[in-house]
Structure 1
Amino acid sequence: MEGKKTVAFHTLGCKLNYSETSAISKLMEVEGFEKRKFDEVADVYVINTCSVTENADKECRHLVRRIQRQSPSSLVVITGCYAQLKPTEIASIPGVDLVLGAAEKFNIATHLKELSKGDSAKICSCDIEQVT
């Protein structure tokens, strides 16, 4: 990605997810990303997911499809509980580029440097017991 990079966030779930999205957003700004609204075109879309209900899983898949229609060349990153619990399932969703589990969610910028649109989805996750 050359020039000013842009990123948009969408959060599903609990207050902790909203807090973590805010922290990730600040880290991305430090890395040179400019924040956009989720309904605007961005270079990268980050969806911080929940997995408490089946509805949250469905909403995540719906959001990925929406991004693909709106901005097919953008990178799509999925993190949060759903990403931690079902990373392979998420990686199989067309349009998903990066799946980050709990231990990697604050390292999005680092992982993005290694990614290109069109590559197979990259999964960076570990067993929940390994998360400290």
Structure 2
Amino acid sequence: MKRTFNTAGVFDLQEEVLTTIFDDRLAIINFVMSDFVGFILAYFDLSPSQIQYLNNMSTALKTALSIGIADSWINNLAVDFQKESSMADEEEDTPKDIILSRYNSSSTPPVASSLLPTGYFSIRIVYRNSAYR
């Protein structure tokens, strides 16, 4: 079943992934790593503008997202995903920023992040035009 690509939809998918047996989770992780766009299209019901955005993402961004998600899931951690809601986000090409945060034990974490588990990964989608918030 495809989910809406929003905070609740991503949470629902992660809950399913993280409670499945490890071999099934590993298959999903391999899918994320080998075909990030295909993974998103398979699990989420996207609007035409979301599909266009996904297909036009840089390779670097797709790689960073797939590695962060895979590392989190392999360590049985949910990705902290938050997507602002916007009245126009699915209807128009609303400018947005995707903010990625990562903490792992090999880096020196800021004090505020010192209690985060190894492998912590965060994705924030923030719309630039405040009139749509």
Same fold (TM over 0.5): no
1 or 2, which has the higher helix percentage? 2
Task: Tell me which structure has the larger Cα radius of gyration.
Answer: 2
* TM-score between both structures, scaled by the size of structure 1: 0.29
- Structure with the greater relative contact order (CA < 8 A, sep ≥ 6): 1 or 2? 2
* TM-score between both structures, scaled by the size of structure 2: 0.29
